[in-house]
Amino acid sequence: MSTKYIFVTGGVTSSLGKGILIASLAKLLQARGYSVTIQKLDPYINVDPGTLNPYEHGECYVTNDGAETDLDLGHYERFLNKPTSQANNVTTGRVYQSVINKERHGDYLGKTVQIIPHITDEIKRNIKLLGRKGKYDFVLTEIGGTVGDIESLPYIEAVRQLKWELGKSAMVIHLTLVPFLSASGELKTKPTQHSVKALLENGVQPDVLVLRTEHELGDSIRKKVALFCNVDENSVVQSIDVPTIYEVPLKMKAEKLDLTVLNKFGMSTGKEPELEAWKSFLKKHKNPKSEVNIALVGKYVELPDAYKSISESFVHAGAVNECKVNLQYVHSEEIKSGNVDTILKDFDGVLVAPGFGHRGINGKIETARYARENNIPFLGICLGMQIAVIEFARNVLKLEEADSTEMNEVTKYPVIDLMEEQKGITNMGGTMRLGAFACNIKKGSKLYEAYKKTQITERHRHRYEFNDKYKKQFEDKGMKAVGVNPDTNLVEAIEIEGHKWFVGVQYHPEYNSTVLKPSPLFSGFIKACLTK
Ligand code: GLN
């Protein structure tokens, strides 16, 4: 069977949830026994989001192969329980970089290099790359941005060409919004009509329309949209607001989106979707038997998307423990030694978030001290682990002003220091220690209790590390290195002996947490928060 290509475009506004829609459709196709992969094309000129401030673009997600990618790839992995890679995220910057490199190499043989065909060809190459060797039955590609944006044009043109070339093996699903005007009590389809017109102006006729709405769409609305937008009535699909993103696949199943797609491709429907484990997760998620309050201490708290994978990991870990996790974002800049107990006293556990740079550091250090001294479950991730190390050095080892050289280059006690391989690096893009690495776990540790294994693989994104020179001093006073990289000896995880649950990890467990395979570390953390 030849690979089928499904493109998802968006209209009317951004943030309609194209990522969740495409992941839900892929989930249903996967549950029917098909092999699927999802790709995101981002129209910005950054080569990847690694250099973007989280305020601009939310979290930077990291794949096993060390690609710094859009946070939608996190949704793809959480829904499909399958790893993605660099090939699953392409930006305009990456496309141009590759074309310009080819031009410099002389590959275009004297031709004028242009958006059409060279940029569009490069976009098409990146899409078809995933379908190569028939590895997947379906390649689903999300086109970032909104139809009508100048920067999306080359992508829409590439989709038009691919639809033309691939014929019945390609399809376009367009996601739009049907707003409800409360003054007149009406749902409005005009924005959808305009948005489909914009697509048509670019030569693309959508095959399926998914209408995001706050209220049920009646038959008359579906009929009207079908007639005005040249699509079959059963290809107008409603996507109504739901309390959790994990319900969207079931909603799309009820709307028969998967069947509509398979019918259009003339394909067999496969088996009935196997969604038992998914439903059992949802059941636990919706019927918690207990509750915990967790503080996420970070500096990007105004924008919850900055910690997307962490908050989703808590949803997964909550379900494992049949527990509702009330995650509250606490601004690290607001925490001082004088108010830390007032701010944190009602929480069952605290997480100190990953991050870069000096802003909000002292609040994070106070948080780690408070959790350590008061026996409150603590999880430090990446910078969060480094903070726990700095706090322990200052207040337990009495190494006054101990620091990370990221914050103070000339500190007398560099307990966290730049990794050897990082010295001399001046380019910021894609140069951190990135991707999956192995970690050996010490038996008897909280980490071992969580993973129940002596070797794990987790993903990384950092430049600084625990300074081995101080290891003995820390271990003598009770902060133990319980996770170590088998090849480099780099400290991947620390714990405080005798504490209820105090774990810091240099890696990012949140990138590996999926609905069907929740992060054991997050589950262990919640379990510890539950034991009074
Ligand atoms: N800034 C720290 C480092 O580069 C931590 C990075 C992170 O939290 N992802 O090592």
Q: Helix 120-131 crosses helix 92-105 at what angle (to 10 degrees)?
A: 110
- On the question of a cis peptide bond just before residue 486, with omega within 30 degrees of 0, the verdict is no
In the predicted structure, residue 478 carries a pLDDT above the cut 80: yes
In the predicted structure, residue 22 carries a pLDDT above the cut 80: yes
Whether the CB-CB separation of 499 and 368 falls below 8 Å is answered with: no
Q: Are strands 479-484 and 491-496 parallel, antiparallel or unpaired?
A: antiparallel
In the predicted structure, residue 47 carries a pLDDT above the cut 90: yes
In the predicted structure, residue 532 carries a pLDDT above the cut 80: no
Supply the residue whose CA is at minimum distance from atom 8 of ligand 1. 354
Tell me the residue length of the chain. 532
Task: Report DSSP state, residue 518.
Answer: -
Can you read off the two tokens belonging to residue 132? 């190569």
Say if ligand 1 is within 6 A of residue 406 CB.
yes
Can you read off the two tokens belonging to residue 173? 């699903």
Give residue-wise pLDDT tens across range 181-201.
999 989 999 999 999 999 999
Distance 354 CA to ligand 1 centre (A): 6
Whether the CB-CB separation of 299 and 357 falls below 8 Å is answered with: no
Per-residue pLDDT, 359: 92
Say if ligand 1 is within 6 A of residue 355 CB.
yes
In the predicted structure, residue 507 carries a pLDDT above the cut 90: yes
In the predicted structure, residue 269 carries a pLDDT above the cut 90: no
Give residue-wise pLDDT tens across range 274-312.
899 999 999 999 999 999 999 999 999 888 899 999 999
In the predicted structure, residue 270 carries a pLDDT above the cut 90: no
Whether the CB-CB separation of 411 and 401 falls below 8 Å is answered with: yes
Per-residue pLDDT, 357: 92
* Stretch 234-262: mean pLDDT: 96
In the predicted structure, residue 453 carries a pLDDT above the cut 90: yes
Which pLDDT band holds residue 211 (cuts at 50, 70, 90)? very high
Report CA-CA distances (Å) from 431 to 104, 156, 309, 460.
Answer: 23, 32, 22, 12
Task: Report DSSP state, residue 273.
Answer: P
Of 358, 407, 428, 463, the one to substitute when testing ligand 1's pocket (max ligand atoms within 8 A of C-beta) is 463
Give residue-wise pLDDT tens across range 404-452.
999 999 999 999 999 999 999 988 899 999 999 999 999 999 999 999 9
Per-residue pLDDT, 271: 80
* Cα torsion 289, 294, 300, 301: sign: positive
Which pLDDT band holds residue 314 (cuts at 50, 70, 90)? very high
Say if ligand 1 is within 6 A of residue 462 CB.
yes
Q: Across all residues in the chain, what is the average pLDDT? A: 96
pTM over 0.75: yes
Say if ligand 1 is within 6 A of residue 383 CB.
yes
Phi/psi of residue 25, nearest 5 degrees: -65, -45
Sequence-ordered strand ranges (E) for 299-375: 323-331, 349-352
Which residues touch 44 (CB under 8 Å, ≥6 apart)? 91, 92, 93, 144, 151
Within 10 angstroms of residue 211's Cβ, the number of other Cβ atoms is 23
Which helix (H) or strand (E) segment holds residue 172: the answer is strand 170-177
Per-residue pLDDT, 13: 87
- Which of 142, 312, 510, 529 is labelled catalytic? 510
> Which amino acid does the sequence have at 193?
Q
Distance 88 CA to ligand 1 centre (A): 24
DSSP letter string, 79-142: HH-----GGGEEEHHHHHHHHHHHHHHTTTTTPPP-IIIIIHHHHHHHHHHHHGGG--SEEEEE
Which pLDDT band holds residue 133 (cuts at 50, 70, 90)? confident
> Which amino acid does the sequence have at 242?
V
Distance 506 CA to ligand 1 centre (A): 8
Which helix (H) or strand (E) segment holds residue 254: the answer is helix 248-254
Report CA-CA distances (Å) from 259 to 138, 195, 253, 420.
Answer: 14, 25, 8, 54
Distance 522 CA to ligand 1 centre (A): 19
Give CA–CA dist 448/503, Å, rounded.
11
In the predicted structure, residue 8 carries a pLDDT above the cut 80: yes
Give residue-wise pLDDT tens across range 360-391.
999 999 999 999 999 999 999 999 999 999 99
In the predicted structure, residue 107 carries a pLDDT above the cut 80: yes
Give CA–CA dist 245/24, Å, rounded.
9
- CA torsion angle for 393, 398, 403, 408 (degrees, to 10)? 180
Give CA–CA dist 301/332, Å, rounded.
9
Ligand 1, closest atom to CA 465?
10
Which pLDDT band holds residue 402 (cuts at 50, 70, 90)? very high
Ligand 1, closest atom to CA 381?
8
**Over pLDDT 70: what percentage of the chain?**
100
* Stretch 474-482: mean pLDDT: 98
Give residue-wise pLDDT tens across range 70-104.
999 999 999 999 999 999 999 999 999 999 999 99
Which residues touch 53 (CB under 8 Å, ≥6 apart)? none
- Which of 60, 382, 439, 529 is labelled catalytic? 382
In the residue annotation, 508 being an active-site residue is answered as yes
